[in-house]
Amino acid sequence: MELYEPSLQYHREIIHGQQYIVFDEGCFLGLQVLGKDVEPCFEGAAFFQLQENIEEVVKKIQEIEMTYSKRRTKRNASDEF
């Protein structure tokens, strides 16, 4: 994972006696997809789940478009008579 340095906003914070850098805002410059068999480095990581959700939406849009196209074709055919 690479962060786009000009976009970073952060502050230093002491938590339980330890100093941390807390990122408030930033943009990713690059990501590395490790695969489905690799445990995510942080809780809630869901790259593949997001990809699957997008694929489902695209498939549904294609199904709707096919249904619409078939109805339009039937309508146009009936108008010719």
Q: What is the pLDDT of residues 23-61, one digit of tens each?
A: 999 988 877 777 777 776 666 666 656 667 778 888 999
pLDDT tops 90 at residue 74:
no
Whole-number pLDDT of residue 44:
66
With a CB cutoff of 8 Å and minimum separation 6, the contacts of 28 are: 1, 2, 3, 4
Whole-number pLDDT of residue 11:
94
CB burial of residue 26 (10 Å; 0-12, 13-18, 19+): middle
